[in-house]
């Protein structure tokens, strides 16, 4: 049998894992400042959860879900995104009974059957947050402020926000705009791509974010949705923009930004970076006040975002790792093992050569390992019951009694020094 990794998946290790961990740690740190708590939902759910919530006419549900059948023939889907799962959890777990508003964040793998390319995978990772119970524009602003703080914490300067409002379902709001949009697009139907000709009937808003050049040319002069939404939605959007301005949040308005999913209302936003190439969206989100209703539950105002961890990891410049830990060199396996154990139990990352190669080779490995200290147990040291401790940052070498090594290392590393 020839083993092969599944298309669109990859193993994460080395620098990439370090970048993932760094981003995850910073997200935990920043999100908790805003009162978010972590939620972990199952990796798969009943397919209908996504079919109803995300929407039948979206790419995700239409063609990108990984489906499984359980032994009783029920259709299950590997989660393609997590908002639907978190909302399901809020409903099935009655989370809103304990508080009027709740904030959750999550991180983990998602699955979409997409054509893999740079920055696009079939198993990819997201960090996201969902805020339930509050409908005022301050909560939309808070989410964007939290994102800005997160990007600052991970030292990402190349990201920019784009903002739009897609209104609500009231007849005089989005539905009325859709009508004018369809009228506008129908006049130029012959210039639309095949997909968008179909979307004219099924989901005309999606024509606005089509990436085909001919469609981009058509929609350039399309009516702007944020100028046609109802009074309440318009007020919400103006308020949000003024709060963002107060806080000096930089964003651009993009009337073509609609997000692919059916459940959004009012605020939608995306985060971009020019450094990402073709797949330049680092994340996106918005308000989805009507999603609970779609699931037959009383309405709970909600909003959230998801960031693509794989893509963020491509953007961050990890600082060169500082030297850390200890490498023990020597030929006497028993003494080496004992010293290694003592160091590890004292709380130091400690490495050694399990093959006990030549001393020269062990020195080479120690140099490569980027450790702070090398402990040398040569023949002379062993005879005297001592260890040579080499500080790799200063190259100083001292001879220390074996039972005093830990104390010596501790004093060298103590912050008072």
> Which of residues 114 and 412 has its CB atom nearest to ligand AMP in the complex?
114
Smallest distance, Å, CB 81 to ligand AMP?
Answer: 6
Asked whether position 16 contacts ligand AMP by CB under 6 A, the answer is no
Asked whether position 308 contacts ligand AMP by CB under 6 A, the answer is yes
Collapsed DSSP state (helix, strand, coil) of residue 209:
coil
Q: What 8-state DSSP symbol labels residue 133?
A: S
- Element spanning 288, H or E: none
Among 55, 283, 286, 304, binds ligand AMP (CB under 6 A): 283
Collapsed DSSP state (helix, strand, coil) of residue 326:
strand
Smallest distance, Å, CB 298 to ligand AMP?
Answer: 25
Question: Alpha-carbon distance 229 to 165, whole Å?
Answer: 8
> Which of residues 82 and 326 has its CB atom nearest to ligand AMP in the complex?
82
Residue that the structure tokens 């600082």 belong to: 319
Q: Six-digit token pair at 189?
A: 């139907």
Asked whether position 204 contacts ligand AMP by CB under 6 A, the answer is no
Smallest distance, Å, CB 380 to ligand AMP?
Answer: 56
> Which of residues 54 and 409 has its CB atom nearest to ligand AMP in the complex?
54
Asked whether position 10 contacts ligand AMP by CB under 6 A, the answer is no
Asked whether position 85 contacts ligand AMP by CB under 6 A, the answer is no
Asked whether position 284 contacts ligand AMP by CB under 6 A, the answer is yes
> Which of residues 204 and 283 has its CB atom nearest to ligand AMP in the complex?
283
Site string for ligand AMP, 252-281 (x = CB under 6 A): -----------------------------x
Smallest distance, Å, CB 377 to ligand AMP?
Answer: 48
Q: Is the dihedral of CA 66, 70, 73, 75 positive or negative?
A: negative
> Which of residues 153 and 281 has its CB atom nearest to ligand AMP in the complex?
281
Site string for ligand AMP, 88-117 (x = CB under 6 A): ------------------------x-x---
Task: For 270, list phi and psi in degrees, rounded to 5.
Answer: -140, 160
- Element spanning 364, H or E: helix 359-368
Asked whether position 124 contacts ligand AMP by CB under 6 A, the answer is yes
Smallest distance, Å, CB 287 to ligand AMP?
Answer: 14
Q: Contact 276/315 with Cβ under 8 angstroms?
A: yes
Residue that the structure tokens 């709060």 belong to: 243
State which residue has the least CB distance to ligand AMP: 308
C-alpha count within 13 angstroms, C-beta hemisphere, residue 35: 9
Report which of 307, 201, 206, 218 is spatially closest to residue 258, judged by C-alpha positions: 206
Question: Alpha-carbon distance 372 to 350, whole Å?
Answer: 10
Residues in contact with 323: Cβ distance below 8 Å, sequence separation at least 6, in sequence order: 370, 371, 372, 392, 393
State the residues that interact with ligand AMP by CB under 6 A.
Answer: 81, 112, 114, 119-121, 124, 126, 281-284, 306, 308, 310-311
């Amino acid at each position: 049998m020839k083993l092969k990794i599944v298309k669109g998946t990859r193993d994460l290790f080395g620098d990439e894992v370090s970048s993932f961990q760094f981003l995850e740690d910073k997200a935990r740190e920043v999100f908790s400042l805003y009162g978010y708590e972590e939620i972990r939902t199952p990796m798969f759910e009943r397919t209908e959860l996504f079919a109803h919530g995300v929407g039948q006419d979206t790419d995700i549900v239409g063609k990108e879900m990984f489906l499984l059948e359980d032994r009783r023939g029920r259709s299950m889907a590997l989660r393609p995104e997590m908002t639907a799962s978190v909302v399901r959890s809020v409903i099935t777990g009655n989370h809103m009974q304990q508080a009027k508003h709740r904030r959750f964040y999550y991180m983990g793998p998602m699955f979409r059957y997409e054509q893999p390319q740079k920055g696009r995978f079939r198993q990819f990772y997201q960090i996201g947050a969902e805020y339930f119970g509050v409908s005022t524009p301050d909560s939309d602003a808070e989410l964007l402020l939290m994102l800005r703080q997160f990007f600052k914490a991970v030292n990402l300067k190349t990201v920019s926000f784009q903002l739009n409002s897609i209104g609500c379902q009231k007849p005089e709001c989005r539905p009325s705009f859709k009508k004018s949009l369809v009228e506008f697009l129908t006049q130029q139907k012959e210039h639309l791509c095949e997909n968008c000709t179909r979307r004219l009937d099924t989901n005309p808003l999606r024509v606005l974010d089509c990436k085909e050049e001919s469609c981009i040319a058509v929609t350039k002069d399309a009516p702007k949705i944020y100028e046609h939404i109802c009074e309440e939605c318009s007020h919400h959007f103006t308020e949000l923009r003024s709060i963002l301005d107060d806080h000096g949040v930089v964003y651009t308005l993009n009337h073509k930004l609609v997000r692919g999913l059916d459940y959004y209302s009012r605020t939608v936003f995306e985060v971009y970076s020019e450094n990402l190439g073709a797949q330049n969206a680092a994340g996106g989100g918005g308000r989805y006040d009507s999603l609970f209703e779609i699931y037959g539950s009383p309405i709970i105002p909600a909003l959230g975002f998801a960031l693509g961890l794989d893509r963020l990891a491509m953007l961050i410049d990890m600082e060169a790792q500082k030297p850390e830990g200890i490498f023990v060199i020597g030929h006497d396996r028993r003494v080496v093992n004992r010293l290694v154990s003592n160091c590890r139990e004292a709380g130091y990352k400690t490495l050694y050569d399990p093959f006990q190669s030549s001393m020269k080779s062990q020195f080479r490995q120690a140099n490569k390992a980027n450790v702070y200290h090398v402990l040398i147990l040569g023949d002379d040291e062993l005879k005297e019951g001592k260890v040579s401790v080499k500080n790799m940052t200063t190259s100083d070498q001292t001879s220390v009694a074996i039972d005093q090594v830990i104390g010596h290392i501790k004093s060298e590393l103590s912050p008072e020094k």
